[in-house]
Amino acid sequence: MTTLLRGPMSFRATPILAMLAAILVVHTSSFSETNWTDANDLLVEGRAFEERKAPWDRLPARAEDLVRPPVWGNSRHSAGIAIRFLSDSPSIEVRWKLTGDRLEMKHMPATGVSGVDLYVRTNLPGNSGWRWVGNGRPSAVENQKRLASGLEPVTREWMLYLPLYNGVESIEIGTAEGAFVGPAEMRSRPIVFYGTSITHGACASRPGMTHAAILGRRLDVPIVNLGFSGSGTLDMEIADLMSEIDASVYVIDCLPNLGGSQVAERAVPFVRRLRSLRPGVPIILVEDRTYADAMFNASKANRNRESRAALKAAHDTLVAEGFDRIFYIEGAGLLGDDGEATVDSSHPTDLGFMRHADAFEPVLRSARAEATSEETAP
C-alpha cells in the first residue's frame, strides 16, 4: 500500500488514489513552471490602427464617432489579428480572456467564434510553409489551453490567430521556464480586406480557416481584416480609414450586403475616394458568391445577377476614366458548383473558404506583382 503525507497527518491510500494524486501534482507543476508573455509584447499583425479603445479592437477609438454603430460593434471583434513569435519552448500554451460570453452561434462553432488557432512555420522538403498545430477550444470567458507539447527545443516561428466573432480583453503566450520567446520579424505591407460577414469569418470552424487567413499564409503576407458582419456596405468613412493603412493591395468584397442599385450608387465613388487617398495601390473588386440554393430560388439568383452587373458596370466606368490597377474577381466560382460549400446557402464552410482562397490567389499575386514592380522601378 502507498502512504501519502499531508502535513503532520498521514492516511493510507489505494494505488488508484496514489496515481490520481501523482497526476494532479504533475498537472499543477506544469502550470506553475509556465512563463507567460503578454501578446502585446510580441509581433501583432492585422491590427492596423493605434490609439484603440481596447487593445484588440480593429478600428481606432475615434472611429466610434465616425462609423455606423453596427460597424463599430463588429470592429471590436478580433477577426484576422494574429500574433507572430519565435520560441524554442517544448510546449506552447495560451491564456485568453474574452469580452463576451456568447462563445458560439447557431451556425458557427465556438472554435471559430471564440477560439484561438496556432500555426508553425516549417521548412521540410516538400512540406514547407505554415502548418496547423492546434486550436484553443473555449469553454468560458477565461480560458487556458496547451496547444503544443513534447517538442524538440529548437527555435520555431509561430503564428496564433485570435477569435473571429468575439473580442479579446487579454491574451498571453505560455512557454516553458527557461525557454526563449520573442517577436518574429516584420513582413511586407499588408493586404487589406473590406467586406461582409464572410470576410469577417462566418462560418469558419476555426480562425485560421477564413479565406483571408489562408491567403495570408499562402502568400506569406500580413492581412488586415475589415469584415463587418451585415455592414460591408461601401461606407465612405471606411474608404478614409482604409487609406490610413499602408497596404500593398486593397480587396473590396461587399456585394453580399448590397443590392444592385446600391452597388451602382456607391461602388464608383468609393473607389474614386480610396484611390485619391492612396494613388497607385492596386484595388480588387469582388463579385458576390453564388448562393448555394440560387438554382432553386429565383430571388437569390436575381440578386446575384443584379449586383454583379452593377459591379461590372462600375469597373468598366473606372477603367474608362483611366484608372489602372483595378482588378476583378467574378463570383460564379467562389464556392464551386456542387452546393456543398456553405452552412446556409450564403456563409462558407471551411471548404467554401478554401475555394474562395483558390479563386482569389492568382489575382492577388498579379496585383501584388504590379505593386512590387513600381516600388522597385528606377
CATH of the domain at 181: 2.60.120.260
Question: 5 in a domain, yes or no?
Answer: no
Pairing of strands 283-286, 249-253: parallel
**Average pLDDT per run of 10 along the chain, which is 378 residues long?**
35 39 37 86 97 97 98 98 98 98 98 98 86 98 98 97 98 97 96 98 98 98 98 98 98 98 98 98 98 97 98 98 97 96 98 98 96 59
Same domain for 141 and 225: no
Q: At what angle do helices 350-376 and 211-219 cross, to 10 degrees?
A: 40
Question: 14 in a domain, yes or no?
Answer: no
Pairing of strands 82-87, 181-183: antiparallel
Same domain for 194 and 163: no
- The DSSP symbol for 258 reads -
Alpha carbon distance 115, 47 (integer Å): 18
Same domain for 81 and 174: yes
Same domain for 171 and 100: yes
Share of the chain above pLDDT 90, in %: 87
Closest CA to 93 of 179, 38, 172: 172
Closest CA to 82 of 197, 167, 170, 161: 161
Give the other-Cβ count within 10 Å of 295's Cβ: 12
Same domain for 63 and 153: yes
Boundary residue ending a domain (186, 218, 244): 186
330: domain range? 187-378
Same domain for 158 and 205: no
Asked, as a colleague might, if the bond just before 203 is cis with ω within 30 of 0, I would say yes
> How many domains does the chain contain in total?
2
Same domain for 176 and 199: no
Question: 1 in a domain, yes or no?
Answer: no
Same domain for 265 and 182: no
Q: Do 237 and 205 meet the contact criterion of CB atoms below 8 Å apart?
A: no
Closest CA to 346 of 108, 142, 131, 15: 108
Same domain for 195 and 168: no
Question: 11 in a domain, yes or no?
Answer: no
Alpha carbon distance 293, 286 (integer Å): 20
Question: 7 in a domain, yes or no?
Answer: no
Alpha carbon distance 2, 12 (integer Å): 6
pLDDT (tens digit, 9 = 90+) per residue, 171-210? 999 999 999 999 999 999 999 999 999 999 999 999 999 9
CATH code: domain of residue 218 = 3.40.50.1110
Cell match 503532520: residue? Answer: 8
Same domain for 134 and 40: yes
